[in-house]
Amino acid sequence: MPGWSGVKRCGCDLPRRAEGLFADGRVLAWAGEMPFGRGISADGVSHSAGLFVRDGHFWFEHRVRDEHPSDMHSRKLLVMLAVSLGINLLLAVGWFLTAHVPSPRRFFPTEVRPLVTNVLRPIRTNLVFQLPEFSWRDIESTNYSIYIANLRNFGCPEATVRDIIVADVNALFAARRATEIVTPAQQWWRATPDPKVAAQAQDELATLDAERRDLLTKLLGPDWATSGAAIEFAEATATLDGPLLGDLPPETKRAVQDIERQSRERLRALTLAADGKPLSPAETARLRQQTRAALAQVLNPAQLDEYLLRFSSGADQLRASLRGLDLSPDQFRSLFHTTDAIDNELQQLAEATDSAEVARRDQLEKQRTAAFQDVLGKDEFALYALNQDPGFQQARDTAQSLGVTADTVLPLYQINQATAQERQRILNDTSLTPEEQSQQLATVQQQRLDALRKLLGDDAFKKLQGGSP
């Protein structure tokens, strides 16, 4: 703490000027005309001096007070803060006065400097140029004229433009053919294709193909068909047509075709492994189930049912057994759903020898017959039973080849059956001589021809005579 470190007094006459000597030998000059005074020596020590009278003498008193350096520093800081506060106050007042006094605007002519282009040093900028992302959508268009123009502007060679457009048009018309034209194959419930439907489908196909060619000629000119691969009408998805299968996406149709191809390859491998022997019904049934399981992965139940009704081997066999019968779609579908599962199990039991398996096979055969009787009724079931007779199948084929109506099949079959039975009776009669047998056989043949002429008519009979009787 600061304090008085020393006091020096002296009694003497008061001169005009006096000097005092401190205890540490330092000299203080003092102006005697002042009754008292203060001062600070060069080393920072505070000094005070004064005169007073005591006991009839003049006394001179000198006191010394040591100043601490931190006190001096504090006083300097206070002075500096006071000065800074005053300056800031002056600046604030000046800003307030200038900010609220609007200054007149000055307009200066803009100097246009010429653009210097012969700069030798490189100029770096922060600009980044990014090309727009290219997409095939920028070229493709539903309007073929715009589509072709985009392809050419993009730089595609004419041969490439032609191939792209021809392939696209072919795919478009293939989809139209699959959904717009009713083919006999779509009438899967008919055992025999309808000739009228077949003829109409051929006409519509020809019209559609002519429309396709006219469009390509209009778009690409008369020489568009110079590429042999490009002029073919897409046939890959021809069978997958109709209300359900015709609307399948292209990738689904390709998946179905891949499954069909794999099934054919497995069948070929099994046939080669059999070394000329026929495949067992059980192996065929397993292959069929494997193919159906794969199809079920890409088709929904309705699509799979349509596919099986049209293309499965079970449906083909059912149609063959129903030839000559006019079934409705519901009748055929009901028969197929009932007999398909039975036929699959019968194939697996075809070579069974175990008594239990044989009994199961007989049971399945009865179930199959009952299903036909329920769906077809009495009269049509009798006709179905005749369809299984090879003689009836021959009479049906003969009637078809002659172009006669279906109601002539049964009489034709009966004539042939009666003739065969009479011939067999004559040949088995041992009482007849050979000449008598020949005479009676000729008579039976003439009776057959007379009956056929009456049944078929002259034109159909002459056609029959031109072929093998």
pLDDT digits (tens, 9 = 90+) for 168-183: 888 888 778 878 888 8
The pLDDT of residue 465: 82
Both tokens of 31, joined, read 């102006």
Distance between CA atoms of residues 155 and 158, nearest Å: 9
Both tokens of 272, joined, read 């080669």
Cβ pair 312, 260 in contact under 8 A: no
Q: List all residues 6 or more positions away from 320 whose beta carbon is below 8 Å from its beta carbon.
A: 191
- pTM of the predicted model over 0.75: no
The pLDDT of residue 54: 55
Angstrom CA distances, 155 to 150, 151, 152, 451, stand at 9, 7, 5, 78
The pLDDT of residue 157: 83
The pLDDT of residue 156: 79
Best CA proximity match to 324, nearest among 403, 397, 412, 417 = 397
Rounded average pLDDT over 374-392 = 88
Distance between CA atoms of residues 317 and 409, nearest Å: 21
Q: List the chain domain ranges.
A: 4-70, 135-241, 389-469
Other residues' Cβ atoms within 10 Å of the Cβ of residue 89? 10
The pLDDT of residue 200: 86
Both tokens of 33, joined, read 């005309």
Distance between CA atoms of residues 27 and 197, nearest Å: 145
Q: List all residues 6 or more positions away from 413 whose beta carbon is below 8 Å from its beta carbon.
A: 386, 389, 391, 392, 395, 396
Distance between CA atoms of residues 108 and 106, nearest Å: 6
What is the maximum span of the chain, computed from C-alpha positions, in angstroms? Answer: 209
Cα atoms in the 13 Å half-sphere on the side-chain side of 367:
15
DSSP state of 456: H
Q: β-strand 27-31 against 45-54: which pairing, if any? A: unpaired
Distance between CA atoms of residues 19 and 31, nearest Å: 8
Rounded average pLDDT over 92-105 = 58
pLDDT of 416-451, one tens digit each?
999 999 999 999 988 989 998 899 999 999 999 999
Distance between CA atoms of residues 67 and 4, nearest Å: 10
- DSSP H/E element including 49: strand 45-54
Best CA proximity match to 188, nearest among 311, 300, 314 = 311
- Higher pLDDT: 375 or 14? It is 375
Both tokens of 58, joined, read 């003049």
- Give the helix, strand, coil percentages of the chain, each rounded to 5: 60, 10, 30
Other residues' Cβ atoms within 10 Å of the Cβ of residue 278? 9
